[in-house]
């Protein structure tokens, strides 16, 4: 089940590592969207940043300028872990809207794919920033 929640990215850690992998190939999308207001939460839940568990990340706009991110989250532990992956397009200032998905109880020693669609943008040309947190399930 997919949970999609716009949220503010408060602390964006290890963004520089992922920024290069997230930029689009075409600097000018066919149709430039305008930045629109999106609902935002007061912040992200407490969690432990674990950017090293992300792999195969791509974050690009489509031909209409709508951003999406895909990738894989690994659980190298011996216990199930819940994660929250968030994507923000625009400056890494924590002020822009983001799309968030929770991956609940990822089995020990496994990998799970994620997809974040229709990421709101504060800057249609990017860049894209991702954050992965290990969190306590609700």
Identify whether the C-beta of residue 73 lies closer than 8 Å to the C-beta of residue 81.
Answer: no
Quick one: which of 79, 78, 71, 77 has its CA closest to 54? 71
* Predicted structure pTM score: 0.67
| pLDDT value of position 138 | 66
Instruction: Express each pLDDT in 100-132 by its tens digit.
Output: 999 999 999 999 999 999 999 988 888 999 999
Instruction: Express each pLDDT in 64-82 by its tens digit.
Output: 999 999 999 999 999 999 9
Going along the chain from its start, the domains and CATH numbers come out as 5-24+42-131 (2.60.40)
Instruction: Express each pLDDT in 17-76 by its tens digit.
Output: 344 344 444 444 433 333 333 333 445 457 999 999 999 999 999 999 999 999 999 999
Count each helix (H run) and each strand (E run) in the chain, helices first: 1, 8
């Amino acid at each position: 089940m997919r949970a999609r929640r716009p949220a503010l990215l408060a602390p964006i850690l290890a963004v520089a590592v992922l920024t290069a992998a997230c930029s689009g190939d075409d600097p000018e999308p066919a149709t430039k969207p305008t930045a629109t207001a999106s609902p935002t939460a007061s912040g992200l839940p407490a969690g432990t940043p674990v950017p090293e568990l992300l792999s195969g990340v791509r974050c690009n706009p489509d031909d209409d300028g709508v951003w999406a991110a895909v990738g894989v989250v690994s659980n190298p532990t011996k216990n199930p872990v819940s994660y929250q992956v968030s994507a923000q397009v625009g400056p890494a200032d924590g002020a822009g809207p983001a799309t968030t998905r929770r991956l609940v109880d990822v089995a020990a020693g496994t990998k799970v794919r994620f997809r974040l669609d229709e990421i709101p943008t504060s800057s249609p040309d990017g860049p894209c920033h991702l954050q992965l947190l290990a969190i306590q399930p609700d």
